[in-house]
Structures are given as C-alpha cells and as structure tokens.
Amino acid sequence: MKLTDESKAFHYAVYSVVTQIPYGKVTSYGHIAYLIGRPQNSRLVGQSLKHYPEIMRQLGENFDIPWWRVLSSSGAISSRGNTSGEILQKHKLIEEGVEVTGVKVNLGLVGWFPDEVDS
DNA sequence: TGGGTGACGAATT
DNA sequence: AAATTCGCCACCC
C-alpha cells in the first residue's frame, strides 16, 4: 500500500473524524466522506478503515481509532467476505451499550450525523 | 492504460 | 423489509 501526499491527507481527515464519534454512537462511511469534503468517496473511507493498521504505521502514528462505530448508511454492519471482523464489530458495539439486532442498529437512536466537526 | 474491484449510497423493485 | 440495479471513483494491477 503506497501513500501519496494526497492520500495521506485523506486518511488523516478520516481518522480525525472517526476519533470524534462519541462513545455509544455510530455514523456512516458516507457521512464521514461528506464531513471531510469528499462526498463521492465513501468507498474509499471503507478502504481506509480496512487497512488502517498499516496506514497508521506508514503515517508514523500509533493511536487506535473506534473503527467499529462506522456502519453503512442503512445502519447495517458491512459485510467483508469473512465474518470474524463483523462479529468483532458487533461485540464492540454491544460492549458500549449499542443495541444490535442481527447486523443492524437503530440510527435514529444512536446515529451521529453532525453537519461539521472540529478539524 | 484499461478494466476489475469494493468495510458505499440512493433509488428502485 | 430485503434484494437488485445503477452510479460512483480511487486504487491496483
């Protein structure tokens, strides 16, 4: 995974937003893309989270981020081919008091969709 | 370099 | 309510 200056900026922006999601709340890939001014790049937000351990290493950062608070716009835990990551995400959410029925959460209840965030 | 891909989203069945 | 369809676009061969 190679990082250009451009993609580094993107990843930093993503992580800045993800770290601001409150405990017990969730948001969507698309809303993160919106908040960082790249509304057409929701898929790239997913890729960023998928590879975040290596990306953070390459960026020289070592903090962890609450990736489990990011869901699809329908409130469902996104499928990624193997179930272990999804199971873990569900457990992490339940752990912080979020009700998960099947793979879904009630966004009206625990959704976090601000119009802007701190930069 | 062109085409397949995807932790997506909105609209449409 | 759930599955399909289609648009999207950076990334990676």
Q: A47-103, pLDDT tens digit by residue?
A: 999 999 999 999 998 888 999 999 999 999 999 988 899 999 999 999 999 999 999
Measured at the CA of A11, the angle between CA A27 and CA A84, to 5 degrees, comes to 60
Q: H/E/C letters for each residue in A95-112?
A: HCCCCCECCECCHHHHEC
Residues A43, A90: Cα–Cα separation, whole Å: 21
* Whole-number distance in Å between A114 CA and C3 C1': 30
Looking at residues A103-109, what average pLDDT do you find? 98
Percent of chain A topping pLDDT 70: 100
* Whole-number distance in Å between A98 CA and B1 C1': 47
Residues A28, A113: Cα–Cα separation, whole Å: 8
Those nucleotides of strand C lying less than 7 Å from any protein Cβ are 2, 8-12
